[in-house]
Amino acid sequence: MVELTLWFSSDGLTKPIRWTIVSLYLVCGVSVAGYAQDATTADSAQASAPKAEVFDVDQYDADDIKISDSNPDMVDGWLYKPDAIPLSQYRRKSQDPDSLIALSNATEIMGDGKSERSYYAAIYSGSTNGVYFQVAAKICDMMRRSYKRHRVHCVPLRSQGVGSNIQLMKEGRVQLAIVQSNNNWEAQAGVNPIPGARSVMSLHDEMGLLIVRQDSEIESIADLRGKRINIGPEGSASRELWLELLGQYDITLDDMETVYSVAQDYNRLGICEDYIDAFGLWIGHPASIIEDSLACDAKVIGMGGPLTQKLVSANHYFFDQVLPARTYDRQEQAINSYGFKASLMAYEVADPYVVYWVTRIIHENIEQLKTEFPTFRSVMADDMYEKGNFLPFHKGAACYWETDLHACDWQQFYNEPDSVSNAANTPYTYMQ
């Protein structure tokens, strides 16, 4: 028998609380149990409680991101050693046309003995059970089905989410990564710079929703006073969003009956076991964590309203959003809310040919993607260019979006016949 202790902590309270026994019996026979403990103050309970484990959820990854050692590899003045693509993809071919590097994975030997150049795209996303990874996987699937058009191999890469993706880009280890429109805006505004980061396009909506117990009598943000909620751990993105939204409605944590500060992974348990009345998520929809919670006699509520509208108007990276009807069980009407755009970024020295084709394939096939993957249902083709792209566009994306007269100058180097022998003679500094 293996015993694990599951803790719920309380934050912002001055009255005594009681820790509650939680028991789960898993299929494999492992018992998860806790014990009851009195606490004279919330502070003393918080200090004695072990830190809850934070699992990989796309946006909520602010803890303990390990910074890798500095990278000595330079391309055009930038640190660049992306993960999961061949060395030949980012290092220029050797001056020796007969070298092994020159004959590396940059070319494929066809069945007729001829060689044809191929390319590689890797998209950093989030946890494998999160929305970001599913989105990246669907994009790569679409690239696979259209491979003969572009010869770009595509692979989704898991990560710890947004914070991890940003750190990886700062380390020069990223071609493409999914973040949020607020990260895009903060980078261009210098609030949180990401050297080398460039816009590609906006993807799906990251809409804020409340998930509330049916018996809670919560119908809007204003109804949260006197209720039990979880706002996420200290330093998490969800907590910051919660505090910003509650402040807009002049609600403080002291106005709540109970405020929990635990990982988002515990939200379903809190709803199902009646520890909390509501939790909020800013995420792509539909999301499994919400679907699982609704099975426990819960419902989804939008975060829209006049005060929310003021918050949207004051922040360029927020957008009014609508959740289509029947996205979730028993949700018969569309729901008005607000949130971010998921933002696809590219590193400056990533191959413009690769970025161009990823941009083109997604945009040209958005209607097909909507039918195959519900997360894309809210995506409007024009919004992919017009909303959430605050940083300058990467050369490859700028070429597709036609943002300037010279955006496609790089194409001339890809229209020449592929010849290993002349690869060293071009002055072009991208991946040859």
Q: Which residues contact 169 (CB under 8 A, 6 or more apart)?
A: 177, 194, 196, 197, 345, 347
Model confidence at 393: pLDDT above 90: yes
Q: Which band of pLDDT confidence, cut at 50, 70 and 90, is reported for residue 163?
A: confident
**Confidence at residue 96, expressed as pLDDT on a 0 to 100 scale:** 39
**Confidence at residue 33, expressed as pLDDT on a 0 to 100 scale:** 35
| pLDDT 10s digits, 235-245 | 777 888 999 99
Model confidence at 62: pLDDT above 60: no
**Confidence at residue 233, expressed as pLDDT on a 0 to 100 scale:** 87
**Confidence at residue 345, expressed as pLDDT on a 0 to 100 scale:** 98
**Confidence at residue 297, expressed as pLDDT on a 0 to 100 scale:** 92
Give 152 or 34, the one with higher predicted confidence: 152
User: Residue 216, Cα to own-chain centre: how many angstroms?
Assistant: 31
**Confidence at residue 18, expressed as pLDDT on a 0 to 100 scale:** 38
| pLDDT 10s digits, 193-213 | 999 999 999 999 999 999 999
Looking at every residue in the chain, the average pLDDT score rounds to 79
**Confidence at residue 128, expressed as pLDDT on a 0 to 100 scale:** 86
Per residue in 62-93, is it b (16+ CB within 10 Å) or e — as a string?
beebeeeeeeeeebeeebbbbeebeebbbbbb
| pLDDT 10s digits, 398-421 | 999 999 889 999 998 776 544 333
Q: Which of 29-43, 225-239, 407-421 has the highest mean pLDDT?
A: 225-239
**Confidence at residue 135, expressed as pLDDT on a 0 to 100 scale:** 95
Q: Which band of pLDDT confidence, cut at 50, 70 and 90, is reported for residue 65?
A: low
Note whether 19 and 48 are within 8 A (CB): no
Lowest mean pLDDT among 52-61, 132-141, 361-370: 52-61
Torsion of CA 343, 349, 353, 358, to 10 degrees: -20
- CA distance readout (Å), 63 to 107, 204, 289: 41, 25, 20
What's domain 74-204+341-425's superfamily in CATH?
Periplasmic binding protein-like II (3.40.190.10)
- Once rounded to an integer, what is the mean pLDDT over residues 273-302? 93
Note whether 121 and 358 are within 8 A (CB): yes
Model confidence at 348: pLDDT above 60: yes
**Confidence at residue 144, expressed as pLDDT on a 0 to 100 scale:** 97
**Confidence at residue 298, expressed as pLDDT on a 0 to 100 scale:** 95
**Confidence at residue 412, expressed as pLDDT on a 0 to 100 scale:** 86
- Once rounded to an integer, what is the mean pLDDT over residues 1-26? 40
DSSP state of 407: T
The percentage of residues in the chain with a pLDDT greater than 70, rounded to a whole number, is: 73
Model confidence at 98: pLDDT above 60: no
**Confidence at residue 360, expressed as pLDDT on a 0 to 100 scale:** 97
Kindly report the pTM of this predicted structure. Answer: 0.75
Q: Which of 26-30, 60-64, 243-247 has the highest mean pLDDT?
A: 243-247
Q: Which band of pLDDT confidence, cut at 50, 70 and 90, is reported for residue 123?
A: very high
The percentage of residues in the chain with a pLDDT greater than 90, rounded to a whole number, is: 58
Model confidence at 10: pLDDT above 50: no
Q: Where are the domains of the chain?
A: 1-50, 74-204+341-425
**How far, in Å, CA of 338 to CA of 116, rounded?**
47
The SS3 of residue 101 is coil
